[in-house]
Structure formats: C-alpha cells, structure tokens
Amino acid sequence: MWCHMSALAGLIVPFGNLIGPLLVWQIKKAEFPSVEIHGKAALNFQLTVLIVVVAGLMLAFILTFFCVGWLLFPVVMLIGLAAFIFPVVAGIKANDGKEYKYPYSLSLI
C-alpha cells in the first residue's frame, strides 16, 4: 500500500511521485514480498505519466504556433488528474491484499 500512496508525494515535493515509490520499493522489498510487485507497478506508472506529460506539453507548445496546441492542454491536465486518482485506487486494492495493474502503464522496470 505504501508504494502506491508514496506516489502522492509529488504533490509536496518536486519529482516526489518518482522518488517516493522508488525509496519504499528499494528499502522494503526484502522485508515484504508484495512490495516488490506493488513498488514496480507504482514506479512504472509514474514513469509512464512523466513521459506522457512531458511529451504532451512539448507537443502542445509546438502546436500552439499552429493554433491547435491549446486543445492538448486539457488532455495533459486529465493525465495529471489520473496520476492522482490511480495511486489512491491502487493503495486501496493493495490494502485489501489484491494486486492492481495500472491501466496504460508501460513495463519499464
């Protein structure tokens, strides 16, 4: 559960959404076997969100010169909202003892 909820550290600390799950995963994976699974899932999702948001913002900025980039800014904001909602749902599922597969998450780690 703490791996998923530590992703919300990004609300307080810049890049805390990446640092939080990484620290919890590295420190607690030997003690609790489920942390290995949940930590990787949380970190993969946060890395996916970071890649998509940076690419979306760059594309939106470039396309603003053609007067259509402003259409992508709400999409990027919705992705940011999903980065807040999905870790909460995953934390609730992990607290119930279930694995949670983040939707549209790349397997980078």
Full pLDDT tens readout for the chain, 109 residues? 555 556 666 566 677 777 777 877 788 778 887 878 888 888 899 899 999 999 999 999 999 888 888 888 899 999 989 888 898 888 888 888 888 888 888 888 8
Map out the domains of the chain as residue ranges: 2-95
Please give the pLDDT value at position 40: 86
User: What local confidence, expressed as pLDDT, does residue 96 receive?
Assistant: 85
Token pair belonging to 52: 């998509």
Half-sphere exposure of 95 (CA within 13 A, CB side): 9
Specify the amino acid at residue 28.
K
Other beta carbons less than 10 A from residue 9's beta carbon = 18
pLDDT value of residue 12: 65
CA distances for 44 relative to 32, 34, 62, 82, angstroms? 19, 16, 27, 14
